[in-house]
Amino acid sequence: MRIVLRSIRRFYNYYFHKEKEFARRLTTMLGFTPAYLTLFKLAFYHKSTFTSRDYAIANNERLEFLGDAVLSTIVAEYLFKKYPNSDEGFLTKMRSKIVKRNSFDDIADRMGLDLFLANYNQTRLSKSMLGNALEALVGALYIEVGYEKTKHYVIRRILRRYLDIHQLEEFDDNYKSQLLEWCQKNGRQIDYKVLAKYKSDKRDKFKVAVFVDGKKLGTADDFNKKSAEQMASERAMISLHIIGPNGQADAPAKAKKKSHKEEVDE
C-alpha cells in the first residue's frame, strides 16, 4: 500500500503539483520523481536565508549532516571493494580526497546545483554552499529511497561520472600536510594564525595566514577555516618553490608511483 501511495505522489508531483517544474528538474538529475518534494526543496535552503529562531528546521543543515555521514559510508564501502589488496592508510587517503569539501563543491557545480540554490536563497552563492547542498541532497535521497538505492545513485551518477578515481591515486592536494612534512624535514618552524574573523553574506569568514620561520608566506580567506589553511599552505609552497603555480612539484620531479590496480569495480 505504501509503495502504491508513493507512486501516486510521484505521478502527481510530476504532472499536477504547483512546483511540477522543480519536480521535473529533479527527475532529470535523479532519474526518478521524488514523492517528498518538500524534503528535496529543503536540501537547497541555506541557513543564511533565515533569521528567525526556527531556522534550524527550515534549512539544509540537518540534511547536510545526514548526507555527509551517508556519503562517507558509501565511499568507504566503494573503495573497500574496489581496492581489496590496499591497506587502511591508502583507503583513508583516497576517501579523504573524494569526500573533501573542494571535491564536493566542484561536483555540485558540474551537476548544476547552483541553479537550484539560486531559486531558494537571496544571498550571494559561494562554492561551499554547493558542496553543502550536494550533501543535503544525498541526505534527502537516503530518506526517500534508503541506503542501497542511494549508494547506487552516488556510485553511478556521482563518483563514476564526475571523478577520475585513478588520477586521484597520484594526486595529493593536501597542501597543509605536505608543507608540514617539508618543514619537519628541513628543520623549519611553521605556524598558522587566524588574522581575522568577519561576516560575509551573514556567515563567518576566516582570514588565515601561514608563517614559516616567522615569515608570512601565504594568506587566504574562506568560510571554512581548514579550507583557508589549505589555500594558504598552497600559496606558501609556491612561494618556497616546493610546487609550481599548477600545483605540481617543482624540479627535481618526484618519481611517479605505480597506480593501485583496479581489481573490483562495483
50, 205 contact by CB (below 8 A): no
Catalytic residue among 61, 64, 135, 234: 135
Q: Is residue 135 flagged as an active site residue?
A: yes
76, 95 contact by CB (below 8 A): yes
Interacting residues of 77 by C-beta distance below 8 A, sequence separation 6+:
151
User: Please, where are the H alpha helices in the chain?
Assistant: 2-15, 20-30, 37-42, 61-82, 88-99, 101-111, 113-120, 127-145, 147-154, 160-162, 165-170, 175-185, 225-239
Say whether 41 sits in a helix, a strand or coil: helix
Supply 225's cell numbers.
577555516
Q: Is residue 221 flagged as an active site residue?
A: no
Return the active site residues. Answer: 68, 135
